[in-house]
Copies of this chain bind each other. A is one copy, B any other.
Amino acid sequence: MSLIVTGTIGIDTVYTPQGHREKVLGGSCTYFAAAASFHGPVRVVAAVGEDFPDSFRATLARFGGIDASGIEVRRGSKTFAWGGKYLGNMNSRETLFTELGVLAERPPAMPAAFRDSRTVFLANTHPAVQLQMLEGLPKRALAVADTMDLWINTARAELDLLLTRIDGLVLNYDEAELLTGKANTVAAARHVLRMGPRFVVVKKGEHGCILVHRDGIAALPAYPTEEVVDPTGAGDTFAGGMMGYLANHKGDAQSVATLREAIAHGTIMASFNIESFSLERLTTLTRAELDKRYREFAAMVRV
């Protein structure tokens, strides 16, 4: 089923204990699309400024399956820029700067050619924008959204409305608690199900993820990684691996069994992404490497 992602494309500056990169390609859409492209084609809807480098466009083109025709270039505007620094074992980070640029303007337009998209991922952005994007996709059969603490705290009404219109929600461990007031992950996820979605995927970083679905539960550890270079994009590549698998799966994409496979694909994709900065690792990643690690992971969790 045709996959589409809406969200941000950014220019990132990242410091981690393993090194740093200045002004590299980032953003939720970018990471998601690169990851999803390993499973099949993916359409991208986002806005950038006229400062968006040709080299970044070339990087996206290297992934083959990415349809970048929905990336709107705004004359006189600047691309979203973000700087962050990861601390200690990289479970926490501080934001160094945020330059909203095009994100402070109107949302990107939905290209007419994309309106027939069937599988939708609304990457993290203001829930009002996510709702607007959803309205531009009347043929959707599966819609999944990500969100964050900022919107839970500042745009709760829009987020609550969004939750009634999507099939699945992907969010972090601490965000699930913030959204529901429940510290237990399973209890928090069940609370979210009562707010609308059919399933919730709670991401716990190095501790893996839990799928809580109306029909059952699945849980997976993270792929055990000894050296994390840069966690930026882990959640978005997880979602890209997951949604890419779902969009190209034959059969019921919303069953527990299919979603369980999908979160395993997300786990493996994220494990590669954090091995280097920006998209450096994904640009060299091969299908054979993905398949090998997927089999290795399956053996690690076999009971």
Contact A227 B184 (CB under 8 A): yes
Residue numbers in B under 8 Å from A297 (CB-CB): 303
Contact B302 A226 (CB under 8 A): no
A303 in contact with B185 given A207-B208, A210-B221, A219-B224 (CB within 8 Å): no
Q: Shortest Cβ distance from A182 into chain B, in angstroms?
A: 9
Of chain B, the residue at the smallest CB distance from A17 is: B183
**Count of chain copies:** 2
Contacts of A216-237 to chain B: CB distance below 8 A = 216-222, 224-228
Q: How far is the CA of A294 from the CA of B206 in the complex (A)?
A: 24
Residue numbers in B under 8 Å from A217 (CB-CB): 224, 300
**Interface mask (A201-217 → B, CB under 8 Å = 1, otherwise 0):** 00010111010100011
Residue numbers in B under 8 Å from A219 (CB-CB): 208, 221-222, 224, 300-301
Q: Is A74 at the interface (CB under 8 A from chain B)?
A: no
A208 in contact with B226 given A88-B183, A183-B88, A303-B297 (CB within 8 Å): no
A300 in contact with B218 given A88-B183, A225-B186 (CB within 8 Å): yes
A186 in contact with B261 given A219-B301, A298-B303, A301-B219 (CB within 8 Å): no
Contacts of A78-116 to chain B: CB distance below 8 A = 88-89
Q: Is A190 at the interface (CB under 8 A from chain B)?
A: yes
Q: Is A120 at the interface (CB under 8 A from chain B)?
A: no
Residue numbers in B under 8 Å from A183 (CB-CB): 88-89
Known pairs A186-B225, A220-B303 / 17 extra A-B pairs, C-beta < 8 Å: A89-B183, A187-B227, A190-B226, A204-B207, A207-B208, A208-B208, A210-B224, A216-B300, A217-B224, A217-B300, A218-B301, A219-B300, A220-B301, A260-B302, A260-B303, A298-B303, A302-B302
